Chains A and B, each alone.
Chain A
Amino acid sequence: MNAVEVKGLRKSYGGFEAVRGIDFELRTGEVFGLLGPNGAGKTTTVEILVGYRRRSGGDVRVLGADPDRAGRSWRGRIGVVPQTGELFPNLTVLEHLELFAGYYEEPRPPREVLKLVGLEEKDGAKTRTLSGGQRRRLDLGVALVGNPELLFLDEPTTGFDPSARRAAWETIRALRALGKTILLTTHYIEEAHRLADRVAVLRRGEIVAFGTPADLIAQAPETIIRYRRNGEEVVLETEEPTRALHELTGQAMRDGFDLVGLEVHRPTLEEVYLSLTEGPSA
């Protein structure tokens, strides 16, 4: 059974359509990435799936239930790391985990959660003394203490430095190994590539690409050729690099101009992502 099923989901605020009829499903045990730039509708989608917002249209099933009508025991099976929001500045890390543990029937022991999110050393520290990255780890700990089957992580690493991001990725991999189903939103393609089994790319409320990270790269053009002419950068995308390059150099020799800074390369993840999210509307 799928952990999440979304069919024709729509959400509008006043006249603005934030989500315009999207379909996807999360298979139990997978890490699914919702990838897209700010304002693409990622957070709105997550907030509908966890029951914070009501949808304007479409059908949603999360762990078999409609989030708008699901009750206490359903909430005990999901964990949410919101994109923004604080905790209690005057409670310690361990006190937070103990407080939230008390809301669940079968919590994971708070000490164990401390270890899972790498905050053992900080157990007695008040939240207001924590760094941004440590707070984010506590956010994750608070979501994990109920021992949820399904986790929603809304931009869990935004604002992290590279080493903190790598540490967070390790934690998310460890959660996957524990058998959790995870929906992750991010605007970092590398993050989706490293963590997600499958990815949906959102753009202005619509899914513009869907598949494994490798599928996404395969959808991109074979080869990119770049050079500068008269100070202008020229970018060519081609499926036939040999012919394109032959024609280009032939023309340059004939007309007597130089291909300044000539580069021939496979598209980077970054370029794949930009072509999906910034190109002309599909």
Chain B
Amino acid sequence: MRVFLHQLRAEQKLFWRSRELAFFTFLLPILFFLLLGSAYGDDEINGVSGYQYLLAGMIGYGAASTTFAGLALLLVIRRESGVLKRLRATPLPPATYIAAVLASIILIFLVEAVILLAIGRFGFDVPLADSIASLVVVLLLGAASFAALGIGLTALIKSAEGSSAVVNALYLPLSFISGAFFSEDTFPKVLQVLAAVLPLSHLIKLTRDVMVFDDAVWEHLDNVAVLAAWGALGLVFAVRGFRWEPRER
């Protein structure tokens, strides 16, 4: 536990000092919320206020950008620069290390979600969910599933140079198709079908149902199941493909 907390503190320091990572994964969803909110926050979308609609999308986008994209980038860069290999030669237990990295990125996502919720609540009168417990369960489930996918993704990325291109090419279209920025109701049918398969649309829908419609999380076990299934898929890739060593040169 002492080593876990020691590593968690170091992970926090490392994340906030890496300005690009902190900006693109943490700050960007908050900026988009303000920006898109100013564009159509006062409109009505699917029967609710634009701000209410957008907030759930930005929380989902935040989960994808921190626990999926941010985590994958951070691990690939550390792997390819030889840091992971070096850690393996120390008595730091691998499980403790992974746990601390995961806890750190999930904590960062939760901080981001709280900031988004606070901006929504105090800036734009978006009411909080009736069931805070349901909201917390949804956020943690989303964070865990995307973190598993993020670690799984590192197995498919060969080099540090190409990592941000690969990660961006995945999570930005994913966020768009899944209706993080705009309602997907106006999208072509093929994109809507694709969105229904992808995990992020389910996380956004769950967040929206819990926040806007005050549903409890267990009323939407179908969405929970799809999200968890993606998480399990990520876990399989993570367990099978995770490497400590950089690519052979």
- A residues near B (Cβ < 8 Å) are 50-52, 72-73, 75-76, 78, 80, 82, 84-88, 90-91, 95, 99-100, 102-105, 142, 146
Contacts and interface: CB of A to CB of B under 8 A. Distances in A.
Interface stretch (B10-18, B29-37, B62-70, B171-179): B10-18
A82 B7 CA distance: 22
Given A52-B245, A80-B86, A75 B14 contact: no
Contacts of A73: 91
A201 B246 CA distance: 28
A82 B82 CA distance: 9
Contacts of B10: 99, 102
Interface of B is mostly: helix
Contact of B85 (A85, A100, A103): A85
Nearest to B92: A103
B90 to A, nearest CB: 4
A105 B2 CA distance: 11
Contact of A86 (B83, B91, B245): B83
Contacts of B3: 102-103
Contacts of A51: 88-89
Contacts of B81: 85-86
- Which of B14, B18, B245 has most A Cβ within 10 Å? B14
- Which of B81, B88, B90 has most A Cβ within 10 Å? B90
A146 B86 contact: no
Contact of A102 (B6, B82, B93): B6
Given A72-B91, A82-B85, A142-B86, 18 more contacts: A51-B89, A73-B91, A75-B90, A75-B91, A82-B86, A85-B81, A85-B82, A85-B83, A85-B246, A86-B82, A86-B83, A88-B14, A99-B6, A100-B90, A102-B6, A103-B3, A103-B92, A104-B90
Interface of B: 2-3, 6-7, 10, 13-14, 17-18, 81-83, 85-86, 88-93, 245-246
B195 to A, nearest CB: 37
Interface of A is mostly: loop
Contacts of B2: 102
A90 to B, nearest CB: 4
B83 A87 contact: yes
B86 A85 contact: yes
Given A84-B82, A85-B85, A91 B91 contact: no
Given A52-B245, A99-B10, A88 B89 contact: no
Nearest to A126: B17
Contacts of A105: 91
A144 B246 CA distance: 23
B243 to A, nearest CB: 12
B86 A104 contact: no
A95 B17 CA distance: 13
Contacts of B89: 50-52, 75, 78, 80, 82
Contact of B14 (A72, A91, A104): A91
B13 to A, nearest CB: 7
A52 B91 contact: no
A103 B90 contact: yes
Contact of A88 (B83, B91, B92): B83
A142 B86 CA distance: 10
11 contacts: A52-B85, A72-B91, A82-B82, A84-B82, A85-B86, A85-B246, A86-B82, A91-B13, A99-B6, A103-B3, A104-B90
B126 to A, nearest CB: 35
A85 to B, nearest CB: 3
A85 B91 CA distance: 19
Contacts of A90: 14, 17-18
A194 B33 CA distance: 64
Contacts of A103: 3, 6, 90-92
Contacts of A52: 85, 88-89, 245
B7 to A, nearest CB: 8
A72 B90 CA distance: 8
A83 to B, nearest CB: 10
A76 B82 CA distance: 19
Contacts of B86: 80, 82, 85, 87, 142
B82 A72 contact: no
A50 B245 CA distance: 14
A146 B91 contact: yes
Nearest to A104: B91
Contacts of A87: 83, 86
Contacts of A80: 86, 89
